[in-house]
Structure 1
Amino acid sequence: MEISIKLLPIDDRTSGFEMGDITLEHQGKTITSAGRTPSQSMMIFIFLSDFIEMLVALEKNGRPDVIMLIAADSSFSLSLKKDGPNLTISEQSTKMIVPLQDFLRTLRSSTLQWLTPLKSKIDSEDPALNDLLSALKKMETVL
């Protein structure tokens, strides 16, 4: 499982409302918001916060409901479903099944690796940044 996150800054002032892309790769399958026409780039900090919050809820409540995650300022969306210890992630005709705990650890690691060099460039009062930091803290409770 690999998760890549890319920031698409429009100038040298970085905020939590920047656009970006995410790419999920697992067992030869790829789900990505990048390189699409029309663009499906999204407000990446908000997307990651929502994604983490939804995954934490799935892990905590264990219900097999399908949750739709729709990116902010984009038409990109993911369908998420917990099935026993596994997570099914679907987008259009692509479907990945991955152990939820492995996915949570990979997402946390990838997000922190991406976020660490950016944090010093963003105002510490930025609400989107603080929402993402809060979601990452909640994620620790289910790992």
Structure 2
Amino acid sequence: MMRMRFSVLPGQGEPNGFDLGDMLCFGDLGEATSQGHTPDQGMMIYLSVTLLLDNLRQFLKGSNKVLSYTGVDTSFNITVRRIKNGMFSVSAGNTLLDRVGLDELTQAVLAAAEEFATCVFDLPEDDAARHDYLAAINDFRTLTNNSTAK
């Protein structure tokens, strides 16, 4: 079962859309995290999760075979490939994390993004990253409720 988690690094002062954080992605075959690397692979977490939601939504609605996602201001990378029979492989670097169906993929990302939304609400109401994040999660939620993905 594939899962993801997003977190904000503590001690950055007042919350803002450029806060740094980490991403963890794990499945039945492996796990990858942006945390604990040299050089650091932490990322602008609010912008990175928004980018992940938008890129994955466009990929799933389209016909491309590979999505190579890299967070904002990091080298942390996740690759999603279309494989046979409506399945997807998810990897980070040379590590295969899981092979999943469409529903499992979208639910794993959506669940993590919805859980992380509690942190987003700590951002000032006029922060553009807050508005972009909430719009991206709503758009992604619509994808998971429809059968528009290929």
Question: Would you say same fold, with TM above 0.5?
Answer: yes
CA 1:125–1:104: 2 relative to 1, 3 Å: same
What are the Cα deviations for residues 54-102 of structure 1, in whole angstroms up to 9, with x where unaligned? 11112212x1422221211111122222334222222211113222221
C-alpha distance in 2 between matches for 1:2 and 1:79? 15
C-alpha distance in 2 between matches for 1:9 and 1:48? 18
C-alpha distance in 2 between matches for 1:120 and 1:128? 11
Long gaps (5+) in structure 2: 145-150
C-alpha distance in 2 between matches for 1:56 and 1:3? 16
- Residue 13 of structure 1 aligns to a residue whose secondary structure is coil
C-alpha distance in 1 between matches for 2:47 and 2:130? 8
Q: Is the 8 A contact 2:46 2:120 kept in 1?
A: no
Q: Is the 8 A contact 1:58 1:82 kept in 2?
A: no
C-alpha distance in 2 between matches for 1:121 and 1:52? 20
Moved over 4 A (4+): none
Q: Count matched residues.
A: 141
- Residue 124 of structure 1 aligns to a residue whose secondary structure is coil
TM-score by length of 1: 0.88
CA 1:44–1:108: 2 relative to 1, 3 Å: same
Name the residue aligned to 1:66: 66
Shift of 1:28: 4.1
Which amino acid letter does the alignment assign opposite residue 114 of structure 2?
Answer: L
In the TM superposition, what are the counterparts of 1:1-143 in structure 2 within 5 Å? 1-61=2-62, 63-83=63-83, 84-95=85-96, 96-116=98-118, 118-143=119-144
TM-score by length of 2: 0.84
Which amino acid letter does the alignment assign opposite residue 5 of structure 1?
Answer: F
Which amino acid letter does the alignment assign opposite residue 113 of structure 1?
Answer: E
Q: Is the 8 A contact 2:57 2:143 kept in 1?
A: yes
Superposition RMSD in Å: 1.7
Long gaps (5+) in structure 1: none
The percent of aligned pairs where both chains have the same amino acid is 23
Q: Is the 8 A contact 1:9 1:18 kept in 2?
A: no
Which shifted more, 17-26 or 69-78? Answer: 69-78
Q: Is the 8 A contact 1:40 1:74 kept in 2?
A: yes
Which amino acid letter does the alignment assign opposite residue 115 of structure 1?
Answer: A
C-alpha distance in 1 between matches for 2:91 and 2:120? 30
What are the Cα deviations for residues 11-40 of structure 1, in whole angstroms up to 9, with x where unaligned? 331112111111111114101111111110
Which amino acid letter does the alignment assign opposite residue 68 of structure 2?
Answer: M
Shift of 1:51: 0.8
